Amino acid sequence: MLKLLKYTFLISFVPQIVLANIPQSPAQDYVYLSDGEKYHSKDIKQAKYLEDFYWAFRNQNLSWMNKSLKNFNPKSDQLLRYKSVLNHGFQLARQISNNKIDHCLQPKGFDYISKKYFRLFKQICTQEKITHILNSKGQISDNENDQNFLLRNDYILTHRRYKNLLLNKIKSSNLRDKTFFSNYIKQYIYEHSALPNIEFMEYMDVDSKITLFIQQKSLFDKQDSHYFTNEFKRLISEFRSDFLEGDTESASNSLDNAIQFYTNNEDKINNAKAWKLFFYNGKKVARTIVKEEEAQDLALNLFKFSEKVAEEENLFDSKFQSLITYYQSNQLGEAISFINKNKFLQDFDKLTPQLRFWSAYIYDKKNEKVQAKELYLKQISLSPLNYYSILALKQLRNINDNYDSDIIIKSDNFKGIDKIALTKEASSHLALFNIFSNAGSSFLTSLQGRQLRNLAPHKFFALENDQNHRNKKNFLLSYFSHKKEYLLSFKQAYSALRRGDIELTPTVISGLFPQIYKDIIKEQKSSLDPRLVLSLIRQESAFNRKAKSVVGARGLMQLMPATARMFKRRLKTYQLYDPNLNIKIGTKFLERLVKRYDGNLMLTLSAYNAGMGNVAKWQKSIPFSDDILLNVELIPFSETRKYVKLIYRNLFFYKYLDQDINHLDLDLADTFKVSYNL
């Protein structure tokens, strides 16, 4: 019994966090939130000062830093320890302001937040120190500290930010400094086996040793690759022009010339750029196969060379394009030969979900049902949360209608967090997380969430259990979701599922697919399925009502102000952060798109993501057909293609949560249709 006194306990399904070592104070000094968590009410505001200091330091705003530091006087020990971090940062900022930086080395930090702050301190300090050295009128050779500082930060020889400053410094330097800079450039070449910006090379004293090193490493050849890459790009452009003009014979000759040039000079051509040229031109050609049968060989030739030059992360994309090209031209026998040649079945678990599903689907279309069934089941087992696993389930039901969502979703062994004993360290971290979350600081909440995710299970749970590793993943998923920190719950689930730490269970699905704002959606009295709107919100903003994209889209449904004003003329931009108004306008816009595209889910979602103008172009230039799965793969924008797949996935799981099993009996094509009565 005495042994357990060092632990705090969670005593209900909703976490109840007790801060470790919190001073005894009158009851009115504490605020009891709806979930029973206990901490000092003033610490929510203190969290804001803590975050303010970070941005103030980043902008080198001393008065803002000073204000944040003076106001930062937290009551809890968990927050109080950051006082030393802010003090350290403020003293460093004053040194930077007075150009009296001795060094930029920083403490290691005691958690993810302190490490983040110290990394920023070092980054800004280094930038300011380099700028000060290069702007100073003194000679580098007179200051050993400055010399060592530049030697430790030789990346400035390739950094655009410092290029002109460094060139001016070298040009105005005396003989001793020119010797230092010459050796500085040589050291960079030796250590990195690369050349700095070419402008610096004329200030290096060339000797036989450095000349031999550059020749052995072929460093000048790497710079020559710019010419050969551009020439290859020009030859590919000639091919594309011939092809788009409908002259397939000339296009074939142009492609042969480009490939011959590449073959003769492949060691001088940038591999990454060559892959893009082969790959994306192959896709451009492949989209016209329905109109030009001669284009098939051209496309396959391009994809073959894209495979040859592909880095590991791009190789499967190239192989998929070859496979889908065979499928698109109805050459299923050749597609299966391609699968066998590349040993897809032997290496099935190493393939992408896309390649796995399409391999199975091609066997299915070839009426090899036994092989297709085996591959569908493997795909579901390997990636249960994936779009392609949902497609695999639907295809399995065509083979045998006894298959149900149970093969994707496993039974729940996690019993919630009722009466789970946590260590004081874990409860302390959870308390901080809740302070940051209730302060509305996504910056600090995200960092503290990472701290919790990386806390070892034996430091998290008070009692040892062989399931603690899995229990911790489930605990945090439920906890983050309960706190409405949905991005964190999503990351937690994706990471754990990918590593096989947890299974896809109803608990996990509930955490991944929140139903917040569902009542507001239903209040719109729209003929659209509320679950479609939920699915879209999940993808657009992850239920963050304050979300703002880099292009200016705002709120839950990420509406552009100009789009929103089509439905509310005098709308103020800030009003889009109101969930009720955002959902009202967003639903009306979605309804308009559904009607415009006659219930075609793929085109509706594509227009929502990429705009109606782009969709109109695609409808004219891309051979969309009755094959909905192929149509999705033909969407040109990778972001939009992924967007459509993810919302389709979201919709499946929201229907599962509503115990709507009828959608499993629909034809695959019908699941890509939206019923409406507008």
| Confidence grade of residue 292 (pLDDT, cut at 50, 70, 90) | low
* Closest among 338, 346, 279 to 307, alpha carbons compared: 279
Q: Do 534 and 518 meet the contact criterion of CB atoms below 8 Å apart?
A: yes
**If you search the block for the tokens 């299974």, which residue do you land on?**
503
pLDDT 10s digits, 54-95? 999 999 999 999 999 999 999 988 899 999 999 999 999 999
Instruction: Output the pLDDT for position 246.
Output: 85
Instruction: Output the pLDDT for position 370.
Output: 96
**If you search the block for the tokens 């290691």, which residue do you land on?**
108
Mean pLDDT of 588-596: 96
Gap between the Cα atoms of 17 and 39, Å rounded: 9
Instruction: Output the pLDDT for position 5.
Output: 35
Gap between the Cα atoms of 481 and 406, Å rounded: 23
* Closest among 99, 104, 105, 103 to 134, alpha carbons compared: 99
Instruction: Output the pLDDT for position 193.
Output: 92
Q: Which of 540, 591, 633, 639 is catalytic?
A: 540
- Bridging pattern class, strands 421-423 and 7-9: antiparallel
Gap between the Cα atoms of 66 and 519, Å rounded: 45
The most distant pair of C-alpha atoms in the chain lies apart, rounded to whole Å, by 88
Beta bridge partners of 38: 18, 32
Q: Name the H helices within 454-512.
A: 457-460, 468-482, 486-499, 506-512
Instruction: Output the pLDDT for position 410.
Output: 87
* Closest among 221, 321, 311 to 275, alpha carbons compared: 311
Beta bridge partners of 9: 421
Gap between the Cα atoms of 485 and 447, Å rounded: 12
Mean pLDDT of 570-589: 96
| Sign of the alpha-carbon torsion through 569, 572, 576, 579 | negative
| Confidence grade of residue 470 (pLDDT, cut at 50, 70, 90) | confident
Structural tokens at position 464: 């040892």
Q: Do 302 and 274 meet the contact criterion of CB atoms below 8 Å apart?
A: no
- The distance from CA 122 to its chain's CA centroid, rounded to whole angstroms, is 26
Instruction: Output the pLDDT for position 416.
Output: 58
**If you search the block for the tokens 């103030």, which residue do you land on?**
56
Give the DSSP H or E segment for 30.
Answer: strand 30-32
Residue 270 main-chain phi, psi, to 5 deg = -60, 120
Active site residue 128: no
Instruction: Output the pLDDT for position 107.
Output: 92
